[in-house]
């Protein structure tokens, strides 16, 4: 006689046991931060599209003024300074190649001793100016604008940017482990189980617990791969070791090439008052097909250090930072010292320029932004659905012990 085989339910593997534990522990410990960072990042995705819509009147100049010659930067700068009467100097100007668009002047100063966003940013104002007649078209206090605040929440939870990034960075590292352990837990044992892991089958499902579990399981799987890219591109900004790893993998060197000091005989001359106007004319000739370019006006970089020359950053496309060219001019004479086009950059430098666009989805166009937005919504929901899964199991176990 044949012996009857008793089918016992297979115990989960050691990997899945540990994956489940790590997934739960990390989820409960950093779930709230993941929720806040995901939500703020998702709301930030369409920043450019929303701002462009609400600021149309400031962005575009009147057609009748287009044929005139733009006023000198010094004249425009002085006009803005007198009208706004700020105690800080004008930081920079962004000049569009499209003659229909206005110049954008910025006031930006930081306090290195501050501990939170509102104290750290002393001033962040954006001024739209009609370059042909000097009319101020719009003044925006970016410090208190929704999107810069969302960016600070996403970057540092409104803490000082230098160390607040680690308050967010550590939970993001744990979130990456959660994504990996989530994929391990999702992975089906056989073909039969695989069918139910890719879609929702709620025909015979009546309980909200099962539906919530499927939302966490199925949506989490689809979002996990883009979420990994989002997390790594975010950590690239926060951790030098990750940036160095990218640099080494792409170009064989841990650090990006450092700009060498460019000496010019003109540096001994007295400053030409039209130095910025000369840089504008030359930049427009060299990169006539670009979108816009940015010139620092206060002689300092973003970190507050004195500049040895005038670095002009040229953007290839509107709303994109990946295709970036750089020109360096003598700060006294306006003589072109170096042209560093995007094509001649190392792979590591190209990625450094593209990382922001990859992180917000703009690198892949409007389709990328939509996909990133949907992924962000799913990532925002995961801590909620995950907590409800844990709470449901906890209550069930509590009933069994009674």
Render pLDDT for 70-125 as a digit per residue (tens, 0 to 9).
999 999 999 999 999 999 999 999 999 999 999 999 999 999 899 999 999 999 99
Q: How far apart are CA 347 and CA 18, in angstroms?
A: 38
Confidence of residue 9 (pLDDT cuts 50, 70, 90): low
Ranking 138-147, 176-185, 328-337, 387-396 by mean pLDDT, the lowest is 387-396
Mean of the per-residue pLDDT values for the chain?
89
Task: State yes or no: pLDDT of 12 exceeds 90.
Answer: no
SS3 263: coil
The whole-number average pLDDT for the span 37-52 is 97
The whole-number average pLDDT for the span 354-372 is 96
Task: State yes or no: pLDDT of 6 exceeds 80.
Answer: no
- Confidence at residue 221, expressed as pLDDT on a 0 to 100 scale: 92
Burial 295-316 (b: 16+ CB within 10 A, else e): bbbbebeeeeeeebbbbbbbbb
Q: Give pTM, 2 decimals.
A: 0.89
Which tokens sit at 213? Answer: 């579990």
- Confidence at residue 98, expressed as pLDDT on a 0 to 100 scale: 94
Q: How far apart are CA 116 and CA 102, in angstroms?
A: 33
């Amino acid at each position: 006689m044949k012996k009857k085989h008793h089918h016992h339910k297979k115990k989960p593997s050691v990997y899945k046991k540990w994956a489940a534990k790590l997934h739960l522990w990390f989820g409960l410990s950093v779930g709230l931060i993941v929720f806040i960072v995901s939500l703020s990042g998702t709301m930030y995705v369409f920043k450019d599209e929303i701002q462009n819509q609400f600021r149309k009147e400031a962005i575009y100049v009147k057609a009748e003024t287009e044929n005139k010659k733009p006023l000198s930067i010094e004249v425009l700068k002085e006009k803005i300074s007198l009208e706004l009467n700020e105690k800080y100097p004008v930081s920079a100007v962004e000049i569009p190649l499209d003659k229909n668009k206005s110049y954008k002047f910025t006031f930006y100063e930081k306090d290195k001793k501050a501990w939170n966003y509102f104290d750290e940013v002393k001033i962040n104002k954006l001024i739209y100016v009609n370059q042909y007649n000097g009319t101020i078209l719009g003044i925006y206090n970016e410090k208190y604008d929704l999107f810069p605040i969302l960016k600070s929440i996403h970057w540092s939870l409104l803490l000082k940017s230098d160390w607040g990034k680690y308050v967010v960075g550590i939970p993001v590292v744990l979130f990456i482990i959660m994504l990996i352990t989530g994929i391990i837990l999702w992975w089906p044992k056989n073909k039969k189980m695989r069918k139910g892991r890719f879609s929702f089958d709620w025909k015979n499902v009546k309980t909200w617990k099962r539906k919530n579990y499927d939302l966490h399981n199925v949506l989490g799987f689809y979002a996990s791969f883009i979420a990994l890219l989002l997390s790594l591109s975010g950590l690239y900004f926060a951790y030098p070791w990750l940036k160095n790893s990218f640099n080494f993998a792409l170009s064989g060197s841990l650090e990006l090439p450092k700009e060498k000091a460019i000496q010019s005989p003109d540096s001994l001359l007295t400053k030409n008052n039209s130095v910025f106007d000369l840089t504008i004319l030359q930049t427009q000739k060299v990169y006539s097909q670009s979108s816009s370019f940015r010139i620092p006006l206060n002689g300092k970089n973003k970190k507050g250090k004195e500049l040895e020359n005038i670095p002009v950053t040229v953007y290839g496309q509107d709303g994109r930072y990946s295709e970036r060219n750089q020109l360096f001019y003598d700060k006294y004479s306006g003589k072109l010292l170096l042209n560093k086009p995007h094509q001649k950059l190392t792979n590591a430098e190209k990625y450094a320029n593209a990382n922001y666009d990859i992180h917000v989805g703009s690198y892949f166009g409007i389709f990328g932004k939509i996909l990133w937005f949907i992924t962000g919504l799913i990532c925002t929901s995961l801590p909620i659905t995950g907590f409800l899964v844990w709470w449901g199991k906890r209550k069930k176990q509590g009933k069994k012990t009674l």
